[in-house]
Amino acid sequence: MFDNLSDRLEGAFKSLTGDNKITEINVATSLKEIRRALVAADVNYKIAKEFTDKVKEKALGTENVLKAVKPGQLMVKIVQDELTDLMGGQSVGINVKGEPGVVLIAGLQGSGKTTFSGKLAKYLKEKRKMKVLLTACDVYRPAAIDQLTVLAGQVGAEIYKEPENKNPVEIALKAIDFARQNKFDVVIVDTAGRLSVDEKMMQEISDVREAISPNETLFVVDSMTGQDAVNTAKAFNERINYDGVVLTKLDGDTRGGAALSVKYTVGKPIKFVSTGEKMDAIDVFYPDRMAQRILG
């Protein structure tokens, strides 16, 4: 995860370590390398430029790198703080309050929605001691219902499904009713995706959202798709104004561009990351820990 970025950033601090005399030129070289590292990680140039401008301001401001005993270390700290800020600063939790709480899961087909729905059910059951109902609202792919049924069995959650019903709004409403009557704490609604953003999918997901007024709408996106992930995140946000982002397949993402740019571009926090196919490969997203990890 983020291997290339970590390596390149390490290289960027080279001119500020060792026996080098620290000058504005070394600092400028270092900043340029940091910018290149971000662009190579698939971060949009404008974001990378703004990032290094902020780092420069700090590095030559009150915490002056030129006067520091260990300029390299100070620069690493400044970059780490700015990376934390770029990824949202504070960790933002999921809101599942309600009787029942309702979580709507949206995203493209193949992004990892169904897998994440299972993981979230396990997380809420184990960490929050909640009684969880999973709901299958992908009315186009019978295999999606089967997949969610298998996952529900694996994580010990119940599932609500109506394989004959082709109306996702109706299924979701009935699932919430069922949950209310049977004292479930939370309902997770897994929806249909398509291979790319299209009007029919957007209309369907916004109809479901309007009908069920979820406490939390999470947008799931494959981090390995880089800039595309950020563009898709933007398109969904414009239509359904979701509350948070789930980045999946971070285990295979060696660049990290989506993790670094999505908060800046869309203004919504990353709430969870998914790092594998197993049901416990889910983590709450902490920007500071991620920044620390990137810088090794």
* Cα–Cα distance, 219 to 246 (Å, whole number): 6
- In the complex with ligand GDP, which residue's Cβ is closer, 222 or 243? 222
Binding site for ligand GDP (CB under 6 A): 107, 109-115, 193, 248-249, 251-252, 274-277, 281
Least distance from ligand GDP to the Cβ atom of residue 94, Å: 17
Which amino acid is it at 96?
V
Least distance from ligand GDP to the Cβ atom of residue 30, Å: 34
* Cα–Cα distance, 157 to 173 (Å, whole number): 19
Asked whether 69 and 281 are in contact (CB, 8 A), the reply is no
Least distance from ligand GDP to the Cβ atom of residue 249, Å: 4
- In the complex with ligand GDP, which residue's Cβ is closer, 79 or 221? 221
Q: Is 249 annotated as a binding residue?
A: yes
Q: Is 191 annotated as a binding residue?
A: yes
Measured in whole angstroms, the distance separating CA 286 from the mean position of its chain's CA atoms is 10
Q: Is 192 annotated as a binding residue?
A: yes
Asked whether 185 and 223 are in contact (CB, 8 A), the reply is no
Q: Is 109 annotated as a binding residue?
A: yes
- CA distances, 23 to each of 17, 107, 266, 292 (Å): 12, 48, 37, 26
Least distance from ligand GDP to the Cβ atom of residue 190, Å: 7
Q: Is 11 annotated as a binding residue?
A: no
Least distance from ligand GDP to the Cβ atom of residue 61, Å: 40
Asked whether 205 and 139 are in contact (CB, 8 A), the reply is no
In the block, tokens 């995140």 appear at: 233
- In the complex with ligand GDP, which residue's Cβ is closer, 190 or 243? 190
CA angle in degrees (0–180, nearest 5) for 36-39-45: 105
- In the complex with ligand GDP, which residue's Cβ is closer, 232 or 275? 275
- In the complex with ligand GDP, which residue's Cβ is closer, 225 or 274? 274
Provide the token pair at 282.
């889910």
Q: Is 251 annotated as a binding residue?
A: yes
Residues belonging to the binding site for GTP are 107-114, 190-194, 248-251
Residues belonging to the binding site are 107-114, 190-194, 248-251
